[in-house]
Structure 1
């Protein structure tokens, strides 16, 4: 078992219930990602977890190191494969979309994971990621309290500038950034708007293309 999968094996239910307890934050994140994922994604979700994002976004295949998370994703009709982002168990150029949501902070080697995403995408395919920006208000709160959280204790939070540099190094082309969550998730009483760019919202979505 990969070290960073242990909290998810032990706290699968706690992870899944968070989305029910914070419905407006969840819907805001989904709305942001819906602006980036194509209507017919033909894709794979790397770090699929329980399938909370893959299913509504139309992604039918999911990879995750946690057996218990994969069991829950399978219950949501995701075709599951156990594995890690740094060594995806797929041939070159087989997907139109690679989705990574709240995954970039848990991989052991971000550069390797992005290179693998690039490898399994077809030319013209899209890489889409959603994450909490380390430099945002929520990101700073998570960093400061990470030792008290069983999930974030193992996380390495990254900034959007670091993501952008890593995408360039992995060979990705043009980018589009969107943002949402302009307040604390627990205080939300409606779905947040989605704005272009980044720097104000705590949850950031990015779409990058594999040009060749």
Structure 2
């Protein structure tokens, strides 16, 4: 079971990050918009307060923490409490499964990917957004994990590791984009969104079978 307590206790602090780092947040949204389909029904796994699901038009959100779900509901997301490894939805229910800054909190990535595959339609896409462990921002988060209530229990992944997990789960058709090239404190205005990975700290991938 993922650790939900920090998100229950520090919901306001979590949500405030997006206000304090608005340019970085909007850059991440821009990267995800290139990959998230507007067609069909979408599910956000680890929806948090709905900061990504709501503006991206993803209708349904799931999270193990109750307090953030209330914020997501206020932003117009249909919310359900649960975990990524046991999605309470029928097979083929969604055209998109969105997983943003959540992979590092998942107990069992193969199980999460299997569940995402199960609830996706035959033409559906899995979109994962994350901070690469080997990126400059990923290194900062790793170095200061003990000082951050959210990342203390997190296990960050590299893009190569995630690619291997996706391939093992049958997601062999992948497209990557990246953004956030400077330290967060130096981001002043939108960061460019570029194809591929290896330069930007925030990476997003659209994966299909």
Cα distance, 1:172 vs structure 2: 1.1
- Alignment match, 1:5: 4
SS of 1:27's partner is helix
- Alignment match, 2:82: 83
The one-character-per-residue Cα deviations of 1:7-57 (angstroms, maximum 9, x if unpaired) are 100100000000001010000000000000012241100000000000110
Structure 2 unaligned regions, length at least 5: none
Q: Write the distance in 2 (CA, Å) between the matches of 1:65 and 1:30.
A: 23
SS of 1:131's partner is strand
Q: Write the distance in 2 (CA, Å) between the matches of 1:149 and 1:108.
A: 19
SS of 1:151's partner is coil
- Alignment match, 2:179: 180
SS of 1:115's partner is helix
Q: Write the distance in 2 (CA, Å) between the matches of 1:154 and 1:61.
A: 26
Between the two proteins, the alignment pairs up a number of residues equal to 209
Report if the CA contact (8 A) 2:8-2:66 is conserved.
yes
Q: Given the alignment of the two structures, is residue 16 of structure 1 paired with residue 15 of structure 2, yes or no?
A: yes
CA RMSD of aligned residues (A): 0.8
- State TM-score, norm by structure 2: 0.98
Pairing of 1:61-210 with structure 2 (within 5 A): 61-210=60-209
Report if the CA contact (8 A) 1:93-1:122 is conserved.
yes
Report if the CA contact (8 A) 2:31-2:204 is conserved.
yes
Cα distance, 1:115 vs structure 2: 0.9
SS of 1:189's partner is coil
Cα distance, 1:169 vs structure 2: 1.1
Report if the CA contact (8 A) 2:2-2:107 is conserved.
no
Query: Which runs of at least 4 in structure 1 moved beyond 4 Å after TM superposition?
Result: none
The one-character-per-residue Cα deviations of 1:140-193 (angstroms, maximum 9, x if unpaired) are 111111011000001000000011011111111310000000011122111100
Q: Write the distance in 1 (CA, Å) between the matches of 2:163 and 2:2.
A: 26
Q: Write the distance in 2 (CA, Å) between the matches of 1:196 and 1:144.
A: 28
Q: Write the distance in 1 (CA, Å) between the matches of 2:40 and 2:196.
A: 22
Q: Write the distance in 2 (CA, Å) between the matches of 1:15 and 1:79.
A: 20
Report if the CA contact (8 A) 2:2-2:105 is conserved.
no
- Alignment match, 1:54: 53
Report if the CA contact (8 A) 1:40-1:58 is conserved.
no
SS of 1:153's partner is coil
- State TM-score, norm by structure 1: 0.97
Report if the CA contact (8 A) 2:2-2:106 is conserved.
no
